[in-house]
Amino acid sequence: MKTPNFLKNYTLPLLREQIRALGEQQFRAAQIFDAVYSHKVNNFDDIATLPKNIRVRLNEEFVFSSIRLQKVQESADGTKKFLFELFDGRAIETVLIPSEMVTEEGTPKRMTICVSTQVGCPLNCQFCATASLKLKRNLATAEIVDQLLEVQKYIGKKITNLVFMGMGEPMLNYDNVMNAVSIFTYGEEPLLGSKRITLSTAGVIPGIIRMADEKSPIKLAISLHATTNGLRNAIMPIARKYDLKQLGDAIEYYYRKTRRAITYEYILFNEINDSELDAKRLAKFTRRVPSKVNVIPFHDIEFTNPTGIAADLKPASDEKFRTFIRLLQNNDVTVMIRSSSGEDIDAACGQLAFSNAVADNVVQQYSELQL
């Protein structure tokens, strides 16, 4: 099925080219951008700054929206999981996480959206439910952008932070992800500032190097989870292509070029990567450049019927978790503890795989397309 010509696939420079090809003046592109991203119009007919004949032409040439909301689930902690249908009948999930800290008015100080970048994922990380879906395709730029716009429209509040940590490996859809970043950060009052956007990678080194060379303004997080090549190879097959030395060298290169600190993500598994020696090795690895470590509880993915090493992964005990944190702190590591927001609706880290949406037509269609 041919991908529709989605309007939100285009950054401002690319949209200028499109508008010029239609025989219109280039300044119309900025008017469209302002209407869509600053004034949040929902269709071309609402762009009052454009003459009617141009609006008619836009309706003929472009598709305004790229995703359709099918279902919203809300956790007891306020986390929301959104199921979106795509143009080809496939689906993705997006998560909205409100912070526990609130303003004087009682609203969350931060609203963080966890955005997907692929339909499924090819990396087969053993702790991640999305791996069970395999890769179907990359998301178009518009399908990435519309996740933020649709969620923001649904909640009626401004999203303050964005993380590329949903379904898929962002570095394997690099161009579309960075085009989305350009759109998010456009204008004097952007949808998001670049310092409020984080890209998390399992360690795709060409993408890390490219971010460094392009001096990408967003933050970089590394999904690490192991301090030896043997274990990392077992739970993250991409490590067979890029080992820890190569990854560390790429991170040093990134820091030299950007002078931006790194965030490491580390899921604690019982009796697998939670020893004192693991903590010491992790501290040594992170000292190569200024960094912090997000320690993450392992979240259940039994609903994917895991096999092999995935079936043996269990969360570290509370005592082991606290001990590991203390060991890192004693080794001068800046540590943050990632909450399990949305775990009761399978929206926590590593759980995105349509577990609670099997009755929806969109998911049935998605399953049929995998056959």
Tell me the pLDDT tens digit for each residue of 134-156: 999 999 999 999 999 999 999 99
Does pLDDT of 217 surpass 60? Answer: yes
Residue 316 has phi, psi (to 5 degrees) of -65, 150
Does residue 285 surpass a pLDDT of 50? yes
In angstroms, rounded to a whole number, what is the distance separating the alpha carbons of residues 152 and 200? 22
Candidates 176, 259, 271; CA nearest to 219 is 259
- Residue 319 falls in the annotated catalytic set: no
Could you tell me which of 301, 315, 263, 293 has the C-alpha nearest to residue 125?
301
Cα four-point dihedral sign 20, 25, 30, 31 = negative
Q: What is the DSSP string of 168-228?
A: S-GGGGHHHHHHHHHHHT-SSS-SS-GGGEEEEES--HHHHHHHHHTT-SSEEEEE---SS
**What confidence tier does 347 reach under pLDDT thresholds 50, 70, 90?**
low
Q: How confident is the model at residue 101 (pLDDT cuts 50, 70, 90)?
A: low
Q: Which of 364, 356, 288, 287 is nearest to 328 (CA)?
A: 287
Residue 366 — pLDDT band, cuts 50, 70, 90?
very low
The alpha carbon of 43 is separated from its chain's Cα centroid by a whole number of angstroms, namely 26
pLDDT at residue 320 tops 90: yes
What does CATH list as the number for 94-354? 3.20.20.70
Question: Per-residue confidence at 370, pLDDT binned at 50, 70, 90?
Answer: very low
Decide whether 7-61 matches 94-354 in CATH topology: no
Q: According to the model, what pLDDT value does residue 223 have?
A: 97
Phi and psi at residue 223, in whole multiples of 5°? -85, 100
pTM of the model: 0.93
Residue in 114, 125, 128, 349 annotated catalytic: 349
What's the rounded Cα separation, in Å, for the pair 60 and 54?
10
- Is 93 considered catalytic here? yes
Question: Out of 93, 143, 150, 343, which one is annotated catalytic?
Answer: 93
Compare 339 and 207 and report the one with higher pLDDT: 207
pLDDT at 80 over 60: yes
Burial (CB count <10 Å: 0-12, 13-18, 19+), residue 107: exposed
Domain boundaries, the chain: 7-61, 94-354
Using an 8 Å Cβ cutoff, are 163 and 151 in contact? no
Q: Which fold has domain 7-61?
A: DNA polymerase; domain 1 (1.10.150)
How much is the pLDDT for 155? 95
Please determine, for residue 367, whether its predicted confidence score (pLDDT) is greater than 50: no
pLDDT at 365: 46
